[in-house]
Amino acid sequence: MTEGLSRRHAIGAATMVGVGVPVLAACGSSDSPGTAVDTETPTTTPTEPAGGLTTKADIPVGGGVIFPNDGVVVTQPEAGTFHGFTIICTHQGCTVTSVSSTINCPCHGSKYSIEDGSVVSGPAPAALTVVDLTIKGNDISKA
């Protein structure tokens, strides 16, 4: 028998390392390099009502909520007024990630108006695209 690892032990060790890699990768931090993390206002997606995208009560006055699966941000700049915009930044196609008094893109700092989607600041060359909404009772859905 030679010193060091036998072929059997080497294959077993390689298998264990290979199995461990996905587990370690799953433990990664969301603020690792290359990942944009917005600490301004975390945006959560409320539970979708049976009839549509969201409800009026889920959209804060003076702010909004991003619905990444639907590709839309819904805002309520003043009580009872709702607007929809695409979540794709017009600068380089990043996804907006938070809404405060503006709709915010983390990639290069573009900020958009919650009233009309126009550029408030940053390198974005154009407004966010309007997404038509349908409001029935308390439910809000994409038109």
Of 19-23, 59-63, 69-73, least confident by mean pLDDT is 19-23
Average pLDDT, stretch 23-42? 35
Q: What is the mean pLDDT of residues 33-58?
A: 56
Q: What is the pLDDT of residue 70?
A: 95
CATH, domain 54-142, list 1.20.1440.60, 3.40.50.620, 3.30.930.10, 2.102.10.10: 2.102.10.10
**Given a cut of 70, is residue 50 above it in pLDDT?**
no
What DSSP state is assigned to residue 65?
A: E
pLDDT of residue 52: 82
Task: Order across the sheet with 81-86: list the strands.
Answer: 63-67, 72-78, 81-86
Answer yes or no: are the C-beta atoms of 84 and 129 closer than 8 Å.
Answer: no
Query: What percent of the chain shows pLDDT beyond 90?
Result: 64
pLDDT in tens, 88-138: 999 999 999 999 999 999 999 999 999 999 999 999 999 999 999 999 999
What is the reported pTM?
0.67
* Nearest alpha-carbon partner for 105 in 84, 86, 85, 87: 87
Mean pLDDT over 26-50 rounds to 39
No. of H helices and E strands in the chain? 1, 10
